[in-house]
């Protein structure tokens, strides 16, 4: 046994192993580790550890556990769906149990486990070691409220076909079927996904804390409802303070990237463009667009005739129109991955064309960047609805009857946000939200108070 005399609270943070979940939990781990009373360990799967090599993580320690797919990761067994969850749920609990045991043996027992709500089994494992448990919800309060109503039968079971009840506690009255998470309305769902989403709520009634990556001012009635239903507290946006201060960091290691970011190339290209001139386009880490949709985005961007930075992941490249890369030279930069927080903080960015994954949406709001919403699936339509009609920081591209968002519509929406009459309003509102986001995480802000309150429950461990 090592001679270990750390009297801090030891918290283990356990994300579900996808980019959209690792990011907010890793950032939250950094926030916790920023408290002098806390030692924080982030547990990632062996596959994430070997492919992303999270080395320079500052004050956060890294530990590994097995999801039963150590060499191949989720993609090796068909992606984030049924067969992967079976392996994860079979191998994960024993492996995290072993991890907690070895931390104890090393003289640094874990006092609290913050687990991604996608991994509800973590609660039982933590309890066996006498650790307090917090479930961390990575989606908006609004989406969590919708699923809570679905679970309680106040919304009919999927596929929901009728209009929603006119009054649903904790939600605005104007929600329509097209605003619901796709898992509530789509009858052709990949197996297991709705169960995974609904599993997030298993054990929330017995867990010690429920934390949400949002901030109170952004969703006050939704947050209040979640507090009454689950005792949930908002603790976001879990972005590094350096971005919340709008200072560009010189720190490419701010994230754990499952793809390699083209940081220097991207920054040099952005530096060469004037303020608010660039259209930034990214559809996150999972969305797989149809070739038709990719063509519409490509031609729409070309026709807009503004500089654009487009993240096209390696797997998606073959869907670009054959001659597009040549045609777009001089006008756009296409990269397989970037350091998105750095891009959004760059003064040249004029708007963000996004699939409205919750991290991307919250990052844009917190960086004061207006949004053109092109939701793909899952919680994204709900986020897009709020972007357009509740937070009013952008517009949603309307789909045609086949669900494709056409080039003309993309062009109209980007122009509306970047040069139309409403341009100033979108920008001013986005900046106001970013100020509120920063305030929430600053000393005495709503999220800061909730985080301090969470930590105060641990007392002192000597
Ligand atoms: C998924 C879901 O789709 C999303 O709706 C849910 O809310 C969280 O999990 P994903 O589709 O990957 O995530 O989108 P998003 O939530 O936006 O997360 C993507 C993350 O990758 C963001 O934190 C973003 O900053 C980062 N990113 C993306 C990069 O760092 N570089 C890139 O080039 C693209």
Residue 379 CB–ligand 1 contact under 6 Å: yes
Distance CA 369, CA 453 (A): 31
For residue 154, the CA-to-ligand 1 centroid distance in Å is: 30
Residue 247's pLDDT is what?
44
For residue 188, the CA-to-ligand 1 centroid distance in Å is: 23
Residue 51's pLDDT is what?
85
Residue 284 CB–ligand 1 contact under 6 Å: yes
For ligand 1, atom 3, name the residue with the nearest CA.
Answer: 357
- Pocket-testing residue among 360, 376, 384, ligand 1, by greatest number of atoms within 8 A of Cβ: 360
Q: What per-residue string of b and e applies to 55-86 under the rule 16 or more CB within 10 Å gives b?
A: eebeebbbbbbbbbbbeebbeebeebbbebbe
Phi, psi of 346 (to 5 degrees): -80, 135
Phi, psi of 366 (to 5 degrees): -70, -20
Q: Which of 341, 352, 191 is nearest to 263 (CA)?
A: 341
Residue 248's pLDDT is what?
41
For ligand 1, atom 25, name the residue with the nearest CA.
Answer: 340
Residue 1's pLDDT is what?
38
Residue 197 CB–ligand 1 contact under 6 Å: no
Tokens 């979108």 sit on residue: 426
For residue 363, the CA-to-ligand 1 centroid distance in Å is: 10
Domain ranges for the chain: 7-252+441-455, 261-435
- Beta-carbon contacts of 177 under 8 Å, excluding residues fewer than 6 positions away, are 160, 161, 163, 164, 185
To the nearest 10°, report the CA torsion of 370, 362, 302, 349. Answer: 60
Instruction: Enter the pTM of the model.
Output: 0.95
For residue 302, the CA-to-ligand 1 centroid distance in Å is: 24
Domain made up of 261-435: CATH architecture:
3-Layer(aba) Sandwich (3.40)
Cβ atoms of residues 321 and 414 within 8 Å:
no
Atom of ligand 1 nearest to the CA of 338: 33
To the nearest 10°, report the CA torsion of 50, 52, 58, 59. Answer: -60
For residue 19, the CA-to-ligand 1 centroid distance in Å is: 6
For ligand 1, atom 4, name the residue with the nearest CA.
Answer: 357
Point out the residues that are catalytic: 21, 116
Fold matches, 7-252+441-455 and 261-435: yes
- Beta-carbon contacts of 416 under 8 Å, excluding residues fewer than 6 positions away, are 395, 422, 423
Residue 255 CB–ligand 1 contact under 6 Å: yes
To the nearest 10°, report the CA torsion of 377, 381, 383, 387. Answer: 140
- Count how many residues are written for the chain: 462
Domain made up of 7-252+441-455: CATH architecture:
3-Layer(aba) Sandwich (3.40)
CA 456 to chain centroid, in Å, comes to 26
Residue 276: CB atoms within 10 Å:
15
Residue 95 CB–ligand 1 contact under 6 Å: no
Phi, psi of 183 (to 5 degrees): -65, -15
Cβ atoms of residues 181 and 382 within 8 Å:
yes
Distance CA 355, CA 150 (A): 24
- Please report the ipTM that was assigned to this predicted complex: 0.98
Distance CA 158, CA 408 (A): 33
Residue 203 CB–ligand 1 contact under 6 Å: no
pLDDT values of the chain reduced to their tens digit, one per residue, 462 residues: 333 456 799 999 999 999 999 999 999 999 999 888 999 999 999 999 988 876 556 689 999 999 999 999 999 998 888 889 999 999 999 999 999 999 999 999 999 999 999 999 999 999 999 999 999 999 999 999 999 999 999 999 888 888 888 889 999 988 999 999 999 998 887 777 888 889 999 999 999 999 999 999 999 999 999 999 999 999 999 976 656 654 444 444 467 889 988 888 999 999 999 999 999 999 999 999 999 999 999 999 999 999 999 999 999 999 999 999 899 988 999 999 999 999 999 999 999 999 999 999 999 999 999 999 999 999 999 999 999 999 999 999 999 999 999 999 999 999 999 998 999 999 999 999 999 999 999 999 999 999 999 999 886 544
Q: Record the tokens describing residue 209, joined without a space.
A: 């804390």
Residue 166: CB atoms within 10 Å:
6
Residue 81's pLDDT is what?
83
3-state SS, the chain, equals: CCCCCCCCEEEEEECCCCHHHHHHHHHHHHHHHCCCCEEEEEEEEHHHHHHHCCCCCCCCEEEEECCCCCCCCHHHHCCCCHHHHHHHHHHHHHHHHHHHHHHHHCCCCCCEEEEECCCCCHHHHHHHCCCEEEEEECCCHHHHHHHHHHHCCCCCCCCCCCCCCCCCCCCCCCCCHHHCCHHHHCCCCCCCHHHHHHHCCCCCCCCCEEEECCCHHHCHHHHHHHHHHHCEEECCCCCCHHHHCCCCCCCHHHCCCCCCCCHHHHHHHHHCCCCCCEEEEECCCCCCCCHHHHHHHHHHHHHHCCCEEEECCHHHHHHCCCCHHHHHCCCEEEECCCCHHHHHCCCCEEEEEECCCHHHHHHHHHHCCCEEECCCCCCHHHHHHHHHHHCCCEEECCCCCCCCCCHHHHHHHHHHHHCCCCHHHHHHHHHHHHHHHHHHHCCCCHHHHHHHHHHHCCCCCC
């Amino acid at each position: 046994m090592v001679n270990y005399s750390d009297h801090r609270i030891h918290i283990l943070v356990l994300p579900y192993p996808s980019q959209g979940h690792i990011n907010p939990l890793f950032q939250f781990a950094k926030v916790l580790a920023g408290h002098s009373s806390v030692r924080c360990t982030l547990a990632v799967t062996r596959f994430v550890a070997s492919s992303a090599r999270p080395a320079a993580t500052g004050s956060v320690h890294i530990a590994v556990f097995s999801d039963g797919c150590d060499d191949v990761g989720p993609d090796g067994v068909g992606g984030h769906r049924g067969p992967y969850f079976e392996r994860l749920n079979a191998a994960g609990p024993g492996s995290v149990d072993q991890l907690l045991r070895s931390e104890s043996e090393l003289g640094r027992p874990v006092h609290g486990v913050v687990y991604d709500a996608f991994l509800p089994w973590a609660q039982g494992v933590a309890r066996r070691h006498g650790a307090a448990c917090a479930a961390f919800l990575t989606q908006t309060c609004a989406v969590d409220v919708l699923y809570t109503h679905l679970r309680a039968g106040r919304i009919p079971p999927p596929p929901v076909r009728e209009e929603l009840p006119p009054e649903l506690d904790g939600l605005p009255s104007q929600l329509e079927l097209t605003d619901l998470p796709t898992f509530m309305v789509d009858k052709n769902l990949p197996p297991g996904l709705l169960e995974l989403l609904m599993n997030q709520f298993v054990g929330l009634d017995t867990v010690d804390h429920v934390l949400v990556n949002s901030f109170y001012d952004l969703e006050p009635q939704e947050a209040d409802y979640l507090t009454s239903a689950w005792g949930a507290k908002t603790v976001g946006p879990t972005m590094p303070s350096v971005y919340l201060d709008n200072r560009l960091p010189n720190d490419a290691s701010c994230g754990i990237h499952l793809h390699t970011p083209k940081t220097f190339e991207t920054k040099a290209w952005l530096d060469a463009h004037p303020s608010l001139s660039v259209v930034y386009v990214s559809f996150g880490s999972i969305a797989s667009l149809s070739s038709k949709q990719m063509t519409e985005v490509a031609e729409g961007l070309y026709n807009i005739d503004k500089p654009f930075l487009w993240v096209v992941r390696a797997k998606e490249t073959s869907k670009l129109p054959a001659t597009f890369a040549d045609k777009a030279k001089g006008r756009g930069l296409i990269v397989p991955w970037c350091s998105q927080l750095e891009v959004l903080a760059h003064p040249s960015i004029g708007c963000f064309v996004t699939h409205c994954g919750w991290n991307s949406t919250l990052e844009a709001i917190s960086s004061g960047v207006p949004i053109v919403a092109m939701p793909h699936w899952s919680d994204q339509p709900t986020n897009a609805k709020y972007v357009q009609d509740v937070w009013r920081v952008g517009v949603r591209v309307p789909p045609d009857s086949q669900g494709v968002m056409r080039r003309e519509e993309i062009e109209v929406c980007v122009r509306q946000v970047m040069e139309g009459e409403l341009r100033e309003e979108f920008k001013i509102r986005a900046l106001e939200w970013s100020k509120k986001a920063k305030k929430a995480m600053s000393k005495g802000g709503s999220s800061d108070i909730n985080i301090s309150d969470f930590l105060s429950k641990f007392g002192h461990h000597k």
